[in-house]
């Protein structure tokens, strides 16, 4: 198109004139352009502690908890309420502290992952999400003093880089009480500690403590022929507090975390049943790129262990072994 090329030529010509007349402002313009582009690329590739990488998606969390998490109506409700309330509060008075309890393989790590995915664009791989496992990170009792210093430094350093940091402590019941005590100040209502404010951080503690008591409640409901969905938080709270507060061997509870009300929510996880194992199996098949096949998943689910031995109501390992087991059946 002639008029088009004419226009292009004209633009080039005027550009050359501008360049000839005002070389300084043109270079400035180009320089600024490069800086803006550089900044954009930086934010694109390098994870920063701002809305480019960090945005709470309340609808996403609600959707994930109701479609991806099976058999945990109580936990889903408490987690959604706790996280949404905290994230929507511009000026929280203390960090959010959640303590997740329940039988193995019932979704405690999985829920932490769902929370992370709906806050950080990179989910669990975000530089602002930190996962500690007691037996892996703090294995030797003799080194507790060294661990204390390292842990405090790690928490302090990371919160000063990003106030919206998340710390997950797995196997809380195997963690040395002194170590838990060392992070206690960060969970409290302080405005700031040595110039760092911890009020926007999230701490999640995971443990099996209280798991057996929760199972008892779920089993009683089952024996009475009542629906699992009828179980409410208040039915589990007593069971949880009995085992959690009175168990002198479970590490966590020696500390004043509870006395000082530093934990905002205790979240109970119910033991999973055969039908939930099936749901986990089907989801796992899809995530492995297979078409969901109920027969395959049922064959796998039948071969798992259930308890109590007679009634075979709850899966011994929850949904934990499914990814590995399924490979034998596909």
Ligand X SMILES: Nc1ncnc2c1ncn2[C@@H]1O[C@H](COP(=O)(O)OP(=O)(O)OP(=O)(O)O)[C@@H](O)[C@H]1O
Residues forming the site for ligand X (CB under 6 A): 69-72, 102, 104-110, 206, 208, 272, 280, 318-320
- Check the annotation: does 102 bind a ligand: yes
State which residue, 110 or 147, has the beta carbon closest to ligand X: 110
Nearest residue to ligand X, scored by beta-carbon proximity:
107
State which residue, 98 or 159, has the beta carbon closest to ligand X: 98
Alpha helix stretches (DSSP H) within the chain: 2-21, 23-45, 58-67, 73-87, 108-117, 134-137, 144-161, 177-187, 211-223, 233-246, 274-287, 294-302, 322-329
- Check the annotation: does 103 bind a ligand: yes
> What residues contact 161, with CB distance under 8 A and at least 6 apart?
49, 128
The distance of closest approach from Cβ of residue 261 to ligand X in the complex, given in angstroms and rounded to an integer, is 25
State which residue, 60 or 92, has the beta carbon closest to ligand X: 60
3-state secondary structure of 167: strand
State which residue, 219 or 321, has the beta carbon closest to ligand X: 321
- Check the annotation: does 154 bind a ligand: no
3-state secondary structure of 197: coil
* Alpha carbons 55 and 116: distance in angstroms, whole number: 10
169 DSSP β-pair partners? 132, 205
State which residue, 113 or 255, has the beta carbon closest to ligand X: 113
* Assigned token pair, 282: 């089907």
State which residue, 18 or 286, has the beta carbon closest to ligand X: 286
Question: For the residues of 73-141, what is the DSSP string, one character each?
Answer: HHHHHHHHHHHHHHHT-SS-SS-EEEEEEESTTSSHHHHHHHHHHTTBTTGGGSTTEEEEEHHHHS--G
The distance of closest approach from Cβ of residue 284 to ligand X in the complex, given in angstroms and rounded to an integer, is 7
State which residue, 74 or 155, has the beta carbon closest to ligand X: 74
The distance of closest approach from Cβ of residue 103 to ligand X in the complex, given in angstroms and rounded to an integer, is 7
The distance of closest approach from Cβ of residue 113 to ligand X in the complex, given in angstroms and rounded to an integer, is 7
The distance of closest approach from Cβ of residue 88 to ligand X in the complex, given in angstroms and rounded to an integer, is 25
Contact 189, 224 (CB under 8 A): no
Backbone angles phi, psi at 168, to 5 degrees: -110, 125
Closest CA to 207 of 231, 179, 176, 175: 175
Other CB atoms closer than 10 Å to residue 74's CB: what's the count?
22
The distance of closest approach from Cβ of residue 130 to ligand X in the complex, given in angstroms and rounded to an integer, is 16
- Check the annotation: does 104 bind a ligand: yes
The distance of closest approach from Cβ of residue 157 to ligand X in the complex, given in angstroms and rounded to an integer, is 27
- Check the annotation: does 105 bind a ligand: yes
Q: Is 129 exposed, middle or buried (CB count within 10 Å of its CB: 0-12, 13-18, 19+)?
A: buried
- Check the annotation: does 107 bind a ligand: yes
Binding residues for ATP: 102-109
Binding residue ranges: 102-109
């Amino acid at each position: 198109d002639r008029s088009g090329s004419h226009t292009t030529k004209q633009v080039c010509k005027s550009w050359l004139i501008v360049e000839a007349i005002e070389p300084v402002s043109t270079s400035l313009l180009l320089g600024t352009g490069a800086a803006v582009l550089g900044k954009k690329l930086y934010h694109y590739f390098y994870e920063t502690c701002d809305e480019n990488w960090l945005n709470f998606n309340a609808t996403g969390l609600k959707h994930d908890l109701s479609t991806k998490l099976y058999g945990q109506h109580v936990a889903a409700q408490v987690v959604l309420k706790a996280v949404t309330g905290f994230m929507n509060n511009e000026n929280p008075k203390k960090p959010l502290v959640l303590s997740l309890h329940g039988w193995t393989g019932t979704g405690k790590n999985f829920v932490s992952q769902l929370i992370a995915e709906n806050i950080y664009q990179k989910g669990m791989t975000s530089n602002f999400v930190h996962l500690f496992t007691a037996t892996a990170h703090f294995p030797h009792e003799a080194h507790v003093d060294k661990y204390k210093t390292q842990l405090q430094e790690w928490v302090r350093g990371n919160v000063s880089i990003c106030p919206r940091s998340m710390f997950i402590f797995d196997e809380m019941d195997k963690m040395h009480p002194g170590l838990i005590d060392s992070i206690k100040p960060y969970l409290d209502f302080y405005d700031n500690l040595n110039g760092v404010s911890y009020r926007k951080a999230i701490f999640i503690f995971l443990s099996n403590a209280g798991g057996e008591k929760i199972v008892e409640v779920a089993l009683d409901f089952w024996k009475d022929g009542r629906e699992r969905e009828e179980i409410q938080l208040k039915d589990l709270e007593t069971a949880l507090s009995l085992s959690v507060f009175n168990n002198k061997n479970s590490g966590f509870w020696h500390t004043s975390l509870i006395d000082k009300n530093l934990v905002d929510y205790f979240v109970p996880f119910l033991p999973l049943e055969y039908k939930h194992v099936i749901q986990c199996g089907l989801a796992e098949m899809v995530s492995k790129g297979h078409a969901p096949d109920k027969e395959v998943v049922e064959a796998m689910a039948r071969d798992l262990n259930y308890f109590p031995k007679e009634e075979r109501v709850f899966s011994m390992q929850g949904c934990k072994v499914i990814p590995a087991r399924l490979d034998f059946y596909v």
